Amino acid sequence: MKIYFKNYTFLLAIVFIFLIGCQKDDEQITKEVLQEIVKPESTTTSLLSGKDLDTDIIYKEMIKDGGFVNHIYDPHEEPFKVGAGTPFTIKIDQAREELGENYKALTFVVNRVNKPIYDTDNLVLSDRNGTRKAYWYTYHFTEEIYRTYTNDEVFEIDLPYTVRELSLSGQILKVNKGVQKFKREATKELNKVSGCFWVPRAGPMNCYGAGCCNCHTPARANHCTCIDKGGNPPGYGIRWIRLCGTGGETSSENGPLSMGYVTAYGEIHIGRSPVGNAQPSGGGLGGGGGEIEEPFLNPEEHGIMFFANVVGLDAAQRNWLFQRRNRDILPEIARILNRDGYSTNAMNLAKSLVEFGRRNNSELAKRFIREATNAALHGTDFDATPYVKKTTPTRAGETANCGTCPISPNVDELWEFGPGLLQNGLDGLFSIALAAFEYNFPDPIEGAFVRQVMKDQGVDVPSDVTNRTLGEHFKIRKEGLRHSIQYETGIGADIADLAINVLDVVTIFSPSKGGGAFLAARGGERVTVASFRQFLNKLKESFYKPTGPMVGKRIGHTFEKHGLHNTNLLKMIAKNGNIPQGQWLNEIEAEKFIARHLSQLGNGARDIPIPANLRNIGRVFRNGDAAILSPTHIRLVPSGSGVKSAFPINSTIESLLTLGTYIP
Amino acid sequence: MKNLSKKTYDEVNKDLGLISTSDWGIINEDADRVKEFIEYYNKNADLLEPLKKYEFIELVISSFNEALLEKKVDNELEFLFKEFIYPHLADEDDSPLSRYHAVSRWTSFISGTEKEYYPVAFMIKEMMGE
């Protein structure tokens, strides 16, 4: 089945247009009466559930407490019971609602006695300025029309119909016959993927079994609780299944597309069936019987139903999409679904876009949906500028006064971009987007936001680093009511180990720089997380190696753990533990220092006092808060020819071992 | 579920007769106590804070490395060590203090002049499948 969305006129609108020009006879209802039914402009459309109907005034006054009460379809009885005066029953588990200015209409599916196989019937109840009207429509589908409707060919056919004006007690007052245009355009293919069809498939829901209801029903009896015993109301649920294959095979799943008829309910079903079973009961095997029980939905709305069921929209999302003003997002989203073969990611994105639109109807939000969809579909760049507020950087955590530290204590390590930094950086729209998307942002979009936030924080990401690359390596996460930018899982720890700042990172990504060019060459067109992690691991292995007097001697964990590269790990250990952590800031001088004092290590570890002018050789992170202190001693832990480890300590916060003697 | 109170740093030191110091796992390493350290960890893992687990992994690996250097590793000890290490390699925590990182950082000794002092680095790299 192929659906198109844009600029498609409502089914009832077509009815109206057609009838203006159709031939009149004595049984025709008047133009004015038709206008009561057809209110094509400025209306909103929703699907109401049976529960919704319980509180609906038209339903209550015209059906439940009105003249149509005897026509309510009772699943506990025969579905073809003949009500007083009019041979149809009304299914009240669902209705289509049209709302306009001083106008409201409900459309119901109805069952009819002796109904031809392809006919479908609706009851339309309307209220205009307090005047109630009732119309019974019968659409005279044919097998050919249904077949055409469910394949992907362009078509335009005349669909015959009969409309009867009813009294409010169900008596037929007038009858009119006519035809309406029923067509589909060539583009906007929605549901045909790789030779497969999505077809609707009916399934009994809740209490619908002969075992407790004693009525003609499909199987699944004996597993339900009747409604009078606290069970749920019975009904059919529409499910959508994907049928593939060329057709013509004798097996059920690949049988030809066909239609069937469920005797008990008089409903049209579409599905696969084995060859030779041209008119299978229940629509055939494989399809199991695709049920089209909402013929009052025009093709566009069928598309929405399809979309809602496949993607898994909830009722609120589906009804939002039913509104005419919101439908124009569907064609592009449908293309994403098609292109990605209905992958989980594509369906999550589609659902996220709808949810985002539902939560925010501003023009900016619509622009966001349009541009985000376009970026996801075509890989075009996405500009996040309109959606991110400018902020003044406010760094989370303490600011260390490091004096002569050779590195800035305020280096922007994104690992530490805490919630406080970004809490004001994202406006309400973006917060809504985050909540709606549940982190299903496509990389190009997430990357665009990352770029904008980084820019606001003073980090100009090189222009040749694409949003996709940024989106692959960074993620935006919500922490309580705040947000932060984090590295993608798998590289955060590596970057923290290396203490490289975000500018280093994005420079590495940049294809015009050495690292980016290297990585891009290895990873194809872009720098992947995997290749970047390999790169970081190489960097990690490149912590300071002795080049002076300690060459050939064991240096152990001296620089592997206490080197200049390892700021974050040392700070975390100090902050979370009971022991201070020392770090070398001048590794070349440290190597010389260790070598000069090796001779004192014959009897175990020694703490060597250092003069004031050598205290910038390293620093100590205080346990508990990781505050930075100057070192007073160097601890040397011997091992054979060298040391297992060596690091700065501060005697005011750490007990000293045996003291050594400082050698200048 | 019973809420177990965590072991303090001093309690662990007292249990094992170790000293309190920076590089706790390195300075307290003991080639003859690898099995004892592993058994203590396994028995008390639920009582150890994440940081202490990180340091305990350092203690076990450092001790096992010394055992390798002193040729004190038999098949049973190697099996015990690998059995101890593998679960930590499955740690998906991305923090620098993750148990995965506590193990994987030792592979950095493979390159450079320190590799002769850290045979355990090669064993870990092999266990990581790299």
Q: What is the 3-state secondary structure (H, E, C) of B56-67?
A: HHHHHHHHHHHH
Helix axes A315-322, A344-359, angle to 10 degrees: 70
Alpha-carbon distance A252 to nearest alpha carbon in chain B (angstroms): 45
- Strand order across the beta sheet in which A618-621 lies: A581-584, A618-621, A628-629
What confidence score (pLDDT) does residue A400 get?
28
A240: which strand partners? A200
**DSSP readout, A41-75?**
SS-EEEEEEHHHHTT-HHIIIIIISSTTGGGB--T
Rounded to whole angstroms, the Cα distance separating A351 from A308 reads 9
Given a cut of 70, is residue B125 above it in pLDDT?
yes
Under DSSP, the state recorded for B106 is G
Given a cut of 80, is residue A403 above it in pLDDT?
no
Averaged pLDDT, A542-553: 80
Are the beta carbons of A496 and B27 separated by less than 8 Å?
no
What confidence score (pLDDT) does residue A564 get?
76
Side-chain half-sphere CA neighbours of A502 within 13 A = 25
Residue A645, chain B, CB below 8 Å: the answer is yes
Give me A614's structure tokens.
């050598």
H-assigned helices in A48-142:
50-53, 57-58
Given a cut of 70, is residue A411 above it in pLDDT?
no
Question: Residue A125: which of A93, A103, A140, A102 has the closest Cα?
Answer: A103
Q: Are A445 and A368 in contact (CB under 8 A)?
A: no
Could you say which residues from 580 to 599 on chain A have a Cβ atom under 8 Å away from some Cβ of chain B?
580-582
Under DSSP, the state recorded for B110 is G
Element (H, E) at A452: helix A443-456
Averaged pLDDT, A9-31: 29
Amino acid at A583: Q
Given a cut of 60, is residue A481 above it in pLDDT?
no
Are the beta carbons of B94 and A493 separated by less than 8 Å?
yes
Report pTM: 0.40
Averaged pLDDT, A546-562: 88
Are the beta carbons of B108 and A560 separated by less than 8 Å?
yes
Are the beta carbons of A551 and B54 separated by less than 8 Å?
no
Nearest to A577 among B51, B110, B114 (CB): B51
Residue with tokens 């999505």: A198
Are the beta carbons of A576 and B113 separated by less than 8 Å?
no
What confidence score (pLDDT) does residue B94 get?
62
Please, what is the Cα angle at A404 between A403 and A408, to 5 degrees? Answer: 80
User: Exposed, middle or buried: residue B116 (CB in 10 Å: 0-12, 13-18, 19+)?
Assistant: exposed
At A627-664, the pLDDT tens digits run 889 999 999 999 888 999 999 999 999 889 899 999 99
Give CA separation, A273 vs A148, A253, A277, A383, A444, in Å.
17, 8, 7, 50, 44
What confidence score (pLDDT) does residue B114 get?
79
Given a cut of 90, is residue A303 above it in pLDDT?
no
Averaged pLDDT, A22-40: 31
What confidence score (pLDDT) does residue B92 get?
67
- Stretch among A175-189, B26-40, B45-59 having the lowest mean pLDDT: A175-189
Which residues in chain A have Cβ-Cβ distances shorter than 8 Å to B25? none
Are the beta carbons of B26 and A557 separated by less than 8 Å?
yes
User: What average pLDDT does chain A have?
Assistant: 62
Q: Are B110 and B119 in contact (CB under 8 A)?
A: no
Which residues in chain B have Cβ-Cβ distances shorter than 8 Å to A557? 23, 26
Residue A543, chain B, CB below 8 Å: the answer is yes
Are the beta carbons of B108 and A578 separated by less than 8 Å?
no
Are the beta carbons of A560 and B105 separated by less than 8 Å?
yes
Residue with tokens 């001083």: A102
H-assigned helices in A499-637:
502-509, 514-523, 529-540, 557-560, 567-576, 587-596
Alpha-carbon distance B75 to nearest alpha carbon in chain A (angstroms): 26
Identify which has the larger pLDDT, A191 or A241: A241
Residue of A415, A561, A570, A635 to mutate, interface with B, max B Cβ within 10 Å: A561
Nearest to A540 among B27, B108, B117 (CB): B108
Amino acid at B40: Y
Q: Are A619 and A563 in contact (CB under 8 A)?
A: no
Residue with tokens 């022991």: A579
Rounded to whole angstroms, the Cα distance separating A166 from A123 reads 10
**Bridge pairing between strands A642-649 and A633-639:** antiparallel
A647: which strand partners? A635
Residue B101, chain A, CB below 8 Å: the answer is yes
Select, from the ranges A57-66, A313-322, A513-522, A536-545, the one with the highest average predicted confidence (pLDDT): A57-66
Nearest to A572 among B92, B96, B110 (CB): B96
Residue A417, chain B, CB below 8 Å: the answer is no
Is the C-alpha dihedral spanning B33, B34, B38, B41 positive or negative? Answer: positive
**DSSP readout, A321-337?**
HHSGGGGGGHHHHHHHH
CB neighbours of A527 closer than 8 A, spacing ≥ 6?
A469, A472, A473, A508, A509, A516, A519, A520
Are the beta carbons of A655 and B109 separated by less than 8 Å?
no
Rounded to whole angstroms, the Cα distance separating A277 from A274 reads 6
**DSSP readout, A232-292?**
PPPEEEEEEEEE-S-S--SSSTTSPEEEEEETTTTEEEEEE--TT-SS-GGG-TBT--EE-
- Stretch among A31-45, A143-157, A443-457 having the lowest mean pLDDT: A31-45
What confidence score (pLDDT) does residue A633 get?
95
Nearest to B94 among A489, A581, A647 (CB): A489
| Residue pairs between chains A and B whose CB atoms are closer than 8 Å | 94
Are the beta carbons of A569 and B24 separated by less than 8 Å?
no
Helix axes B34-44, B9-16, angle to 10 degrees: 140
Alpha-carbon distance A577 to nearest alpha carbon in chain B (angstroms): 7
Nearest CA in chain A to B117: A554
What confidence score (pLDDT) does residue A510 get?
55
Residue A560, chain B, CB below 8 Å: the answer is yes
At A222-237, the pLDDT tens digits run 344 555 555 554 444 4
Residue B42, chain A, CB below 8 Å: the answer is no
Q: Are A278 and A255 in contact (CB under 8 A)?
A: no
CB neighbours of A534 closer than 8 A, spacing ≥ 6?
none
Averaged pLDDT, A162-187: 75
A638: which strand partners? A643
Which residues in chain A have Cβ-Cβ distances shorter than 8 Å to B49? 576
What confidence score (pLDDT) does residue A37 get?
35
Which residues in chain B have Cβ-Cβ distances shorter than 8 Å to A574? none
Are the beta carbons of B9 and A546 separated by less than 8 Å?
no
Q: Are A250 and A269 in contact (CB under 8 A)?
A: no
Q: Where are the beta strands (DSSP E) in A374-511?
A: 474-479, 482-487
Residue B26, chain A, CB below 8 Å: the answer is yes
Select, from the ranges A118-127, A469-478, B14-23, B112-121, the one with the highest average predicted confidence (pLDDT): B14-23
What confidence score (pLDDT) does residue A558 get?
92
Averaged pLDDT, B111-126: 84
User: What average pLDDT does chain B have?
Assistant: 86
Identify which has the larger pLDDT, A523 or B57: B57
Nearest to B108 among A541, A546, A645 (CB): A541
Give me A591's structure tokens.
């190597």
Amino acid at A575: K
Rounded to whole angstroms, the Cα distance separating A120 from A295 reads 7
pLDDT band at A488 (very low <50, low <70, confident <90, very high): low
Are the beta carbons of A497 and B96 separated by less than 8 Å?
yes
- Stretch among A328-342, A433-447, A642-656 having the lowest mean pLDDT: A433-447
Residue B56 has a CB neighbour count (10 Å cut-off) of: 24
The 10 Å CB-count burial string (b at 16+, else e) for A292-318 is bbbbbbbbbbbbbbbbbbbbebeeebb
Rounded to whole angstroms, the Cα distance separating A36 from A148 reads 31
pLDDT band at A164 (very low <50, low <70, confident <90, very high): confident
Give CA separation, A114 vs A77, A118, A265, in Å.
17, 11, 11
Which residues in chain A have Cβ-Cβ distances shorter than 8 Å to B108? 540-541, 543, 560
Under DSSP, the state recorded for A30 is P
CB neighbours of A310 closer than 8 A, spacing ≥ 6?
A191, A198, A240, A337, A342, A347
Residue A637, chain B, CB below 8 Å: the answer is yes
Give CA separation, A462 vs A390, A417, A496, A516, in Å.
19, 20, 22, 11
Rounded to whole angstroms, the Cα distance separating B28 from A645 reads 12
Given a cut of 70, is residue A330 above it in pLDDT?
yes
Rounded to whole angstroms, the Cα distance separating A287 from A241 reads 7
Under DSSP, the state recorded for A346 is H
Segments making up each domain of chain B, as ranges: 51-130
Given a cut of 70, is residue A161 above it in pLDDT?
yes
Are the beta carbons of A496 and B96 separated by less than 8 Å?
yes
What confidence score (pLDDT) does residue A455 get?
66
pLDDT band at A326 (very low <50, low <70, confident <90, very high): confident
Rounded to whole angstroms, the Cα distance separating A534 from B130 reads 11
Residue A220 has a CB neighbour count (10 Å cut-off) of: 16
What confidence score (pLDDT) does residue A644 get?
92
Residue of A474, A594, A644 to mutate, interface with B, max B Cβ within 10 Å: A644
At B59-114, the pLDDT tens digits run 999 999 999 999 999 989 999 999 899 888 877 676 667 888 888 888 878 766 77
Residue with tokens 């392809």: A118
Alpha-carbon distance A653 to nearest alpha carbon in chain B (angstroms): 11
Select, from the ranges A25-34, A444-453, B48-57, the one with the highest average predicted confidence (pLDDT): B48-57
Nearest CA in chain B to A605: B27
- Stretch among A47-56, A275-284, A347-356, A378-387 having the lowest mean pLDDT: A275-284
At A63-115, the pLDDT tens digits run 989 988 888 876 544 444 444 455 788 878 777 777 877 888 888 877 776 65
Nearest CA in chain B to A582: B22
Select, from the ranges A70-74, A123-127, A409-413, A605-609, the one with the highest average predicted confidence (pLDDT): A605-609
What confidence score (pLDDT) does residue A457 get?
55
Identify which has the larger pLDDT, A303 or B3: A303
Are the beta carbons of A578 and B97 separated by less than 8 Å?
no
Query: How much of chain A exceeds pLDDT 70, in percent?
Result: 44
At A459-468, the pLDDT tens digits run 666 676 777 7
Identify which has the larger pLDDT, A304 or A243: A304
Which residues in chain A have Cβ-Cβ distances shorter than 8 Å to B61? none
Are the beta carbons of A645 and B9 separated by less than 8 Å?
no
Identify which has the larger pLDDT, A551 or A446: A551
Q: Are A356 and A433 in contact (CB under 8 A)?
A: yes
pLDDT band at A478 (very low <50, low <70, confident <90, very high): low
